[in-house]
Amino acid sequence: MTFTNLGLAEPILRALTEERYTEPTPIQAAAVPIVVSGRDLIGIAQTGTGKTAAFALPILNRLAASEGRPAPKSCRVLVLSPTRELSAQILEAFRTYGRHLRRSATLAIGGVPMGKQIRALAGGVDILVATPGRLMDLLKNRAVTLDWVEVLVLDEADRMLDMGFINDIRKIVARLPKERQTLFFSATMPPEIASLAGEMLRNPARVSVTPPASTVDRVEQRAIHVGRAGKPGLLAELLGETGVERAIVFTRTKHGADRVVRGLEDAGIAADAIHGNKSQGQRERALAGFRSGKVRTLVATDIAARGIDVDGISHVFNYDLPNIPESYVHRIGRTARAGATGVAISFCSPDEVPFLRAIERAIRQQIPATAATGSVAPAAGAPIPTDAERPERQGRRRRRGGGGEGRQGQGEPRQGRQSHDRQADGRNGQDRPAQGRPGKRRPASGKQGQNRPAPARHHSGDDIGAVGFLGKTRRQAATAV
C-alpha cells in the first residue's frame, strides 16, 4: 500500500513525496481511511509508530476539502497533548504535511508568556495544538472559544492520566460541540482511560497495532544490578564505549537529572538536562543541541519520555528505574525508531528490584541482567510478581514544597503518577492540571510560585504561539500574497 491509495489530497501527497515518505506505517494504513470517513477512532500504538501522521494526514485532508475561514478566537481542530515538547512536534508535523495548504496553525503551551498566544488566536485558527493547563488558562481569559471545533484529538491520553490532567480534559470536552469527530490515541489502555474514551466517543472504530505495554522488538534490553553509589561511574563508563552515538538518560527526579549532568561534566562528558524546572527556552535549546549533535547525551525526566522525537538515538539509559511499568515502555521507545535498532540499559539498585520485577511482568518477558563490579544480583530466575504484588514506595523524606529528593536524592513519586515532573503553574498558566484527582496531592508552588519556570524568550525562528500558515509564518504568508 502507498499513501496514494489512502485517498489524500494532491498537496498532501506532494509534501509526503518531498519528505520521501512512500508507504504508510501499520497504524497509518489502518487509521487514515477511518478518519477520512468521519468516524470516531480509538488508536492504540507504541510510540514511534507514526501515529501523529495517522491523525494529521486525514485532518489536513478534511481542511483541504473545505472553504471558509475560522471565526475569531476559535479553532476548527483542537489537538491536546500532555507536554510542551510533544505539542511542538505535533504542530511541526501539521506544518510539514500541510506546507502546500493555506491553513493556519498555532501552539498554546505553558512556560511562555500568554500574550502572544492570545494575539495569535484573536483572528481564529484552523488548527490549535495545546496542553490542557494552558488551554484552561486561555479559556478563563476568554481568549479562545471552543464552540466551532469540528475535530478533537487526544494524543497520549494515558500520559495525561498519569500527569493528572483528566479533570481539565473533562472540563474542556464539556465546552465542545456534541457534533464533532473525536480521535483518541494512547499507548496503553488502563481502565480509567477506557472509561474516559467511553464518555467522549460515539461508536468508535478501534485500531490496535501492538499489545498494550509491549516493547519495541528492535530494542536490545538489559539490566545491570548496581548500588546507587556506583551508578555515576558506571554511566560515564558506558557512555564512553564505542557504539554510543546519541543517548538519553532517564532519571526519576528533576534534581536527580541536574546531578547526573554535573557528574558527567566532571567526567569530561558533555550533557544537558530537560525537565519541568527548566524554562521553555532552556528546554528548546537543550533539544536543539541534542538534535544537531552538539550534545550527544541528554538527561531527562519522564515528562520528556513521550515528547522527544529525535532520529539516531542509539541508547537509552534508565539511570533510575520508573516506578510505573508503562513509563519504561515509553522511555525505551525513544530509540529504535523508524525501523532502526537500539539499546536500552537499566541500572537497578537493590531497592529498585521490585520495580524491575513489575516491569518484567508488564512487558511479559524477563530482562537479561548482570551485576556491576562489586554488586550482587538477585538470584537468577527470581519469580516475577503477580498482579496483586506491587512495588511498595520506599520511605523517603521529602523537602518542603514537594520538590525534594529525600534521603538519597531519589524521592520517588507515588505509585501511579509522576508528581515531581508535573509543572506547578501558579497564575501564569504553566502546564499544570487543575485540581488533581481525589486523594492526590499537588506539588506546592510556594508563595510566589517558586517551582514554576520563569517565562523565557525564544530562540530565533518562529515564535511559539504565533500563528503560522502551514509551512509559512504569518509574515511569510503576507509577503507571498
Mean pLDDT, residues 100-109: 95
What pLDDT sits at residue 68? 82
What's the Cα-to-Cα distance from 451 to each of 252, 400, 438, 444, rounded to whole Å?
17, 12, 22, 8
Q: Map out the domains of the chain with their CATH numbers.
A: 3-212+459-480 (3.40.50.300), 219-416 (3.40.50.300)
Whether 450 has a pLDDT exceeding 50, the answer reads: no
Q: What residues have CB less than 8 Å from 66, skipping those under 6 apart? A: none
What pLDDT sits at residue 477? 39
> Of the ranges 33-47, 83-97, 302-316, 439-453, which one carries the lowest mean pLDDT score?
439-453
Q: Contact at 8 Å (CB) between 264 and 271?
A: yes
Q: State the pLDDT confidence band at 116, using cuts at 50, 70 and 90.
A: very high
What pLDDT sits at residue 302? 83
| Gap between the Cα atoms of 154 and 165, Å rounded | 12
Three-state secondary structure call for residue 143:
coil
What pLDDT sits at residue 324? 85
pLDDT tens digits, one per residue of 352-390: 999 999 999 988 899 999 998 766 666 545 544 433 343
Q: Is the pTM of this model over 0.75?
A: no
Share of the chain above pLDDT 70, in %: 74
What pLDDT sits at residue 304? 60
The sheet with strand 297-300 has its strands ordered as: 272-274, 297-300, 247-250, 315-318, 342-348, 219-225, 369-371
What pLDDT sits at residue 473? 45
Q: State the pLDDT confidence band at 336, using cuts at 50, 70 and 90.
A: confident
- Where do we find the cell 521529602? 398
